[in-house]
Homo-oligomer: A and B are copies of this chain.
Amino acid sequence: MDLERSPLALPFPDMPAIEGVTLRVGRAGYKNWDRADLTYAELSKGTALAGVFTRNVCCSSEVELGREQVKLGQARALVVNAGNSNAFTGYRGREAVEQIMAQVAHHLDCKPSDVLVSSTGVIGVPLPKDKAEAGIARVLDAPEVSYEDAARTIGTTDTFAKGATATAMLGDTKVILNGIVKGSGMIAPDMATMLGYIFTDAAVDPAFLQQCLSAASAGTFNCITVDSDTSTSDTVLAFATGKAGNAPLAGFDDAGADAFMAALHDVCRQLAHLVVRDGEGAQKFIAVNVTGAESDESARRVGLAIANSPLVKTAIAGSDANWGRVVMAVGKAGEPADRDKLGIAFGGVWAARNGLPLPDYDEAPVAKHLEGNEIDIDVDLGLGEGRATVWTCDLTHGYIAINADYRS
């Protein structure tokens, strides 16, 4: 099935090189695709590593191993397989990952645990070891490619290549952060997952890099949803080569730590938005802003209940200012809420306040806002200071076409 480029796609940004990061792509032939399906990133010695992973308990071997590797805090290489998720494949799947780690470690003369592996695609088919081995041998000799090429190669049913970049000043030293990501739902025909990789030349202590990545993910990757279906392979990794030469960051009190954190958050937010913009069947990009909750976490849960509601998502697809469905979603979230304090706005225009429709509510500007493809929903719970923003896309015939009209 050929998928059309999402109407919400953004152009790939210009990305500067990052010293210590070398990207290559090649072809293992996991599927009958007429394109590269194997991505390899070589990282200079001393690169710090951090990662966050899916909470799905039926996760892949790659995720299980990755969790252990992140504790060691260092990396020399990343391998990404596209077309086969290697999830739910038992010991045979794990052997395939360990083979890739050993093969690359031998090439780089490093420890296997320094080699990170991710895979997305079909669930339940062990990654074929012979194809992996031959593919790795080829990719190690392949020419260097751009971040855009790498972003395209890690994709599966993605309709456009996704990347984001930012810089930060750490004292007098400018550091670069480049990120690439793939994903557009739990995903299409047998495919699965969001994978994100962030590369920086900043020098960052692994433990602090992990702290920064976890914090940045909480308000970005963990605040997006396409279809409420949590993949078995979701992974975001951050690699810091340290080649920029700044004094290594080890805590939030260090000079430049705030700037680095802000830049990392910026890249994570951009990447997270790009995944939503490639959501299956998406025609509209929706931001749900929840304020007045008892806590930020409560606000996030209410936001996710709204963003995951099929009735809210179809209403937005139909450009329908159906705030009754938003009321319903708030009420079912299982979080503190008081019907008689609730306010709801579309595009900044309040339709209801204090649990009552506003008598002077003017639907004309709201209807105009909803005809567009960047939708804002504001929900004020009127209880406390908790707030969160959650991003999603609408639910359209395109989603059904991608997921039901096709036989795996």
Which residues of A line the B interface, CB within 8 A?
55-59, 85, 87-90, 122-125, 185-186, 190, 192, 227-232, 308-311, 314-315, 317-320, 322-325, 327-332, 337-340, 342, 352, 355-357, 394-397, 399-401, 403-408
Question: In the complex, what residues of B have CB within 8 A of residue A317's CB?
Answer: 400, 404
For A397, give the chain B residue with the smallest CB separation. B400
A404 to B323, CA, bound (A): 14
- Least Cβ–Cβ distance between A361 and chain B, in angstroms: 10
Point out the residues of chain B lying under 8 angstroms from A122, CB to CB.
324
Give the distance in Å from the alpha carbon of A314 to the alpha carbon of B227 in the complex: 11
User: Are the CB atoms of A328 and B407 closer together than 8 Å?
Assistant: no
Subset of 11 A-B contacts with CB under 8 Å: A55-B332, A57-B331, A58-B328, A85-B324, A123-B328, A186-B325, A310-B399, A314-B400, A317-B400, A317-B404, A397-B401
CB of A232, distance to nearest CB on chain B (Å)? 5
Return A387 CB to nearest CB of chain B, in Å: 19
Distance (whole angstroms) from the CB of A224 to the closest CB of chain B: 15
A407 touches B319 (CB 8 A): yes
9 shortest A-B CB distances, which residue pairs? A123-B324, A58-B331, A314-B403, A56-B331, A230-B332, A314-B404, A318-B404, A317-B404, A58-B339
Whether A320 contacts B123 by the Cβ 8 Å rule is no
Chain B nearest Cβ from A128, distance in angstroms: 14
Query: Which residues of the other chain, B, contact A407 by a CB distance below 8 angstroms?
Result: 318-320
A332 touches B56 (CB 8 A): yes
- Kindly state the separation between the CA atoms of A225 and B231 in the bound complex, as whole angstroms: 22
A327 CB → nearest B CB, Å:
5
Contacts beyond the supplied A58-B330, A125-B357, A320-B406: 15 A-B pairs with Cβ under 8 Å: A56-B331, A57-B330, A87-B327, A88-B324, A88-B327, A88-B352, A123-B325, A123-B327, A227-B310, A229-B309, A231-B328, A311-B403, A314-B400, A318-B406, A320-B404
Q: How far is the CB of A303 from chain B (nearest CB, A)?
A: 16
Residues in B with CB closer than 8 Å to A308 are: 228
Cβ of B124 and Cβ of A339 under 8 Å apart?
no
**Chain B residue at smallest Cβ distance from A324:** B123
- Cα A309 to Cα B404 with chains together (Å): 13
Residues in B with CB closer than 8 Å to A123 are 324-325, 327-328
Contacts of A315 in B (CB 8 A): 403-404, 408
A328→B229 contact, CB < 8 A: yes
With A58-B342, A322-B408 as given contacts, are A310 and B357 in contact (CB-CB < 8 Å)?
Answer: no
Residue from B90, B192, B327 in contact with A355 in the complex, judged by beta carbons closer than 8 Å: B90
Pairwise interchain contact B403-A318, C-beta atoms closer than 8 A? yes
Max count, chain B CB within 10 A of own CB: residue among A55, A320, A400 = A400
Q: What distance in Å separates the Cβ of A234 from its nearest Cβ neighbour in chain B? A: 10
- Residues of chain B with a CB closer than 8 A to A396's CB: 400, 404
**Residues in B whose Cβ lies below 8 Å from that of A85:** 324
The docked-state distance in angstroms from the alpha carbon of A48 to that of B79 is 68
Bound CA span A259–B370, Å: 55
Asked whether, in the complex, the Cβ of B227 is within 8 Å of the Cβ of A124, the reply is no
Interface pair A314/B399, CB less than 8 Å apart: yes
Question: Are A192 and B324 neighbours in the complex by a CB distance under 8 Å?
Answer: yes
Least CB distance, A244 to chain B, in whole angstroms: 39
Chain B residues near A397: list those with CB within 8 A: 397, 400-401, 404
* Contacting residues, chain B, for A230 (C-beta < 8 A): 328, 331-332
B124 and A58 contact, CB distance less than 8 A: no
